[in-house]
Amino acid sequence: MHQGKLVFAQVMAHLPLSTSRRCVARYDGEHKVKSFSCLDQFYAMAFAQLTFRESLRDIEACLGTQGRRLYHMGFRSLVARNTLANADAVRPLQIYADLAQHLIGIARPLYAKEPIGPDLKETVYAFDSTTIDLCLSVYPWAPLRSTKAAVKLHTLLDVRGSIPSFIHISDGKTRDVNALDELLPEPGAFYLLDRGYMDFARMHALHEAGAFFLIRAKRGLRVKRRYSYPVDRINTRVICDQTVTLEVFHSKQGYPTALRRVAARDDGGKRIVFLINNMQLAAQVVGELYRLRWQVELFFKWIKQHLRIKAFFGTSENAVKTQTLIAVATYVLIAIVKKRAMLPRSLYELPQIFSLTMFETTPINQLLTPLPPSPEDDRQIALL
């Protein structure tokens, strides 16, 4: 007799089923579907992410050996390799894009009070992209060069809790700066950008929307100094703090107003120049704020190491993007579970722990509680 709730079911219990049904109905995702629903597809792909499955055959074999537990995991039909492959290839990926966005809307308020380094009340975003390399002969729809294929994952990361608030998947040839056109700027928020995103017309659009940007300046950037503010070069790493305007004609056409230029030294003594459109922020805080941009790099590194977004189960464009979106949705779902269950482990450790306990019935909050030392252990310690 089944007793208790499986760990996988405990995690999936935080998935909003009503929203999932609305997303499926919005895009008619189950047209002429008899048995394998979109929810079963999400469960199967999420199971693959949490347990690090290598292929569709691997997913089928693992779930096939747990036939008596599938119902208690949430499945309402058997998982067959061909059925799952067909679902990934033909079902609208917008279903999982909308579902992931809804999960992000649930997770972000849970982490709204998370502390960050600089004492700021405003929302701070880090925007960047990562390239996922593919084989051109297998993925001819995503050419990058004559012998290589790739897709890019553009992410706007809320640094409070490391929650991705925006996801965009493009082909490898898309310039990173073009993804800025997909953003809806949030007034009052800070956007941390690498120097590869330096496009003054797009930066001025952020400025006009009431948002603040902080970006590293490229070498050789020609500016005209209007005013220099006093800085403490002895107790801080700030070298200069200036109000400047752009000199090059096309740059000035894109950004006609004044900018703030702050130069500082990093831990190794290297000189770094920042451009920012916020004139009230303390100069020493600018460098501390830009350090938070590294969180998006850590996010990309972690999902590539611990989620299945480098080896794909399907070869079509729809299958690749569907798998990536479900991977992001699974990551956000774990973030929701962590906050709601008040789990002590870090967000990056939880998937590794869940991968070994998917079929256990221990409550999650007890699963992560360290066991007290037994009397035998105490006696052994006393003998040492």
Residues 6 or more apart whose CB falls under 8 angstroms from that of 207 comprise: 213, 255, 257, 277
pLDDT given for residue 99 in this prediction: 95
Give the CA distances from residue 324 to residues 55, 65, 108, in Å, rounded to whole numbers and listed in that order: 15, 26, 20
Residue ranges per structural domain of the chain: 7-96+310-367, 195-292
How would residue 28 be classed by pLDDT, with cut points 50, 70 and 90? very high
Q: pLDDT tens digits, residue range 81-123?
A: 999 999 999 999 999 999 999 999 999 999 988 888 777 888 9
Out of 142-146, 203-207, 248-252, least confident range = 142-146
Q: What angle do the packed helices 294-306 and 317-340 form, to 10 degrees? A: 110
The pLDDT score that the predictor gives to residue 381 is 54
Can you give the pLDDT at residue 1?
44
pLDDT tens string 367-377: 766 555 555 55
Cβ 148 vs Cβ 136: under 8 Å? yes
**Residue 377, pLDDT score:** 52
Across the range 26-40, mean pLDDT stands at 91
Averaged pLDDT score across all residues of the chain: 89
Rounded to an integer, what distance in angstroms lies between the CA atom of residue 20 and that of residue 15? 8
Give percent of the chain above pLDDT 90.
Answer: 56
Instruction: Give the span between the Cα atoms of 355 and 45, in whole angstroms.
Output: 14
Contact status, residue 169 vs residue 141, Cβ threshold 8 Å: no
| 3 state DSSP class of 357 | coil
